[in-house]
Amino acid sequence: MTRIKTDILVLGSGIAGLTFSIKAAKQFPNRQILVLTKTVEGESNTRYAQGGVAAVWNEEQDTFEKHIADTLDAGDGLCKEDIVRIVIEEGPERVREIIDWGARFDKEKDSPEYDLAREGGHSEHRILHYKDLTGWEMQRTLMDEAASYPNIKVLEHYFALDLITQHHLGRMVIRVTPDIECYGCYALNKENGGIDTLLARVTILCTGGGGQVYKSTTNPVIATGDGVAMTYRAKGRVENMEFMQFHPTSLYNPAGENPSFLVSEAVRGFGGILKTAEGEEFMQHYDPRLSLAPRDIVARAIDSEMKKRGTDCMYLDCRHLDKEGFTAHFPTIYDKCLSVGIDPMKDLIPVVPACHYMCGGIMVDEHGRSSIHRLYAAGECSSTGLHGANRLASNSLLEAMVFAHRIFLDIRDKMEGWDFQEGIPDWNAEGTTDPKEMVLITQSIKELKDIMSYYVGIVRSNIRLKRALDRLFLLYQETEDLYKTTVVSPQLMELRNLITLAYLITRSASHRRESRGLHFTTDYPDHLPFVEFSVL
């Protein structure tokens, strides 16, 4: 066991974590910024983002008010309008910043102007992109920039287990007291099996989403809701967990694939049309915007058509599109389709909804501050109020950069007033033994994914949610018994975190007795006359 002190502790190395770290390193050249990542630095939800980053760029055709209106419309009455305005108005400057750091967004042919795409829910072309690998390009840019600062240290293969608060000092606090403080975290060094105590003046959670709670997800295997689960265990507030966004068009693979391959919404923005196996359009029955309707509407429409017809997928028709333009914009998607025997220029692309983005999360204010002092959150693990009940396409990368900057501004003048907490004990592993039944963990994860996919998916009901809660409670008891007697492993901790995440999603869904945005229940198909955030 090792004790490590760092001025700033950042959990996660995606766009939010690295954007913040770069700014902090530049501002505090004599302060150490320690970045933890579960695998390697480049593996994050960020690198899997295909579509792009939305920002008002062409001011002759687009305006802040249009982007704000589109975001509010997609959020279905639950966006915080002041937060929406902050992100939309501050966003272009953050995009210029990453361009200055080296991001290579696509430009129009033989022109210095950026090639702006349009995606579902957007009224204008405002998506900056790099082919269909925008997240990869932004991740590359941030890693290169971060490497130029000697006071940023990245620890790879470190798994954050729990936040350190007053509980570890023996001073009990009740849930949601304003006096909880974060002093760092315990983390498992996956290379030597030791559990280190990491002490920090301030901690920033940038741990990404939790799509692995479902069987089919576009999220990488590391997306297990760790930051949300740790915060909840530390008695911090989380909100709006019922709003899990399912991307309408992941590539259907009957053999199964984890993560599911994403067919970007930008393909529909480019002219792709959703159809049945018989080649008939169906979106006209659900929304006047047809295939460019917001994701929640499109996902439910595809789900409805699949159930109505008894089929495993619907289809995306790109056969009428220009091949040169399609392959230039979507080379990865084109190559992936060819690799599984589908030629997008000749064949319909089979698609199915897959869990894609967590719109709720750790409740934060306009500065990224959580309900726990000295603990901030940014990116997908946070709930800022931007997305409301449904995220507008390509707003997430923008939000991550804006809030990384705002957190940096908030702590800039506070660092001198924060010190390290003394008396923190090492991790207590007494009475635990090496696991003899790994099959219990792997089967519990499989069972958990089945529960969430069948009962807490795109369409819900009271009886489905009750059944899910009953099954989850049994899984929780079994897993906690295993946790008390077994040496900590990444698989066991991910199972604990996923069960916590599943509980929060299901419990939040059972509290919302209406259908709104991404939450649709057959028992309450209509909107309530008033709306409120769901806080746990």
Question: Left if phi > 0, otherwise alpha if psi is -120 to 50, otherwise beta: which for 149?
Answer: beta
**Predicted local distance difference test score (pLDDT) of residue 42:** 63
Rounded distance between C-alpha atoms, residue 173 and residue 180, angstroms: 7
Name the nearest CA neighbour of 105 among 133, 65, 72, 81.
Answer: 133
pLDDT (0 to 100) of residue 174: 47
Same CATH topology for 3-242+359-417 and 438-521: the answer is no
Which residue has tokens 């480049």?
42
The reported pLDDT for the residue numbered 1 is 74
Torsion of CA 489, 495, 497, 502, to 10 degrees: 180
Helix ranges (DSSP H) in 213-263:
226-233
How far apart are alpha carbons 413 and 357 in whole angstroms?
33
CATH of 3-242+359-417, one of 3.30.750.80, 3.50.50.60, 1.10.3720.10, 3.40.50.300: 3.50.50.60
Residue 217's region, left for phi above 0, alpha for psi from -120 to 50, else beta, is beta
| Chain-centre distance for alpha carbon 312 | 26
What is the CA angle 384-41-219, rounded to 5? Answer: 55
pLDDT in tens, the chain (536 residues): 799 999 999 999 999 999 999 999 999 999 999 999 998 766 666 666 777 999 999 989 999 999 999 999 999 999 999 999 999 999 999 999 999 999 999 999 888 899 999 888 899 999 999 988 898 999 999 999 999 999 999 999 999 999 999 887 755 444 445 589 999 999 999 999 899 999 999 999 999 999 999 999 999 999 999 999 999 999 999 999 999 999 999 999 888 888 999 998 889 989 999 999 999 999 999 999 999 888 888 999 999 999 899 999 999 999 999 999 999 999 999 999 999 999 999 999 999 999 999 999 999 999 999 999 999 999 999 999 999 999 998 999 999 999 999 999 999 989 888 999 989 999 987 767 776 668 889 999 999 999 999 999 999 999 999 999 999 999 999 999 999 888 889 999 999 999 999 999 999 999 999 999 999 999 999 999 888 888 88
Question: Which positions are catalytic?
Answer: 295
Look at residue 175 in the predicted model and tell me its pLDDT: 47
Alpha-carbon distance of 124 to 178, in angstroms, equals 43
pTM higher than 0.95 for the full model? no
Question: What is the domain partition of the chain in residue ranges?
Answer: 3-242+359-417, 249-354, 438-521
Q: Which residues of 284-307 are buried (b: 16+ CB within 10 A; e: fewer)?
A: eebbeebbbbbbbbbbbbbbbbbe
How far is Cα 193 from Cα 261, in angstroms, rounded to an integer? 32
Q: Which fold has domain 438-521?
A: Methane Monooxygenase Hydroxylase; Chain G, domain 1 (1.20.58)
- 79 closest CA partner among 326, 512, 388: 388
Report the 10 Å Cβ neighbour count for 476: 17
Spatial separation of the C-alpha atoms in residues 104 and 137, rounded to whole Å: 7
Q: What is the pLDDT of residue 39?
A: 85
Answer yes or no: are the C-beta atoms of 13 and 140 closer than 8 Å: no
CATH 2.115.10.20 describes domain 249-354: no
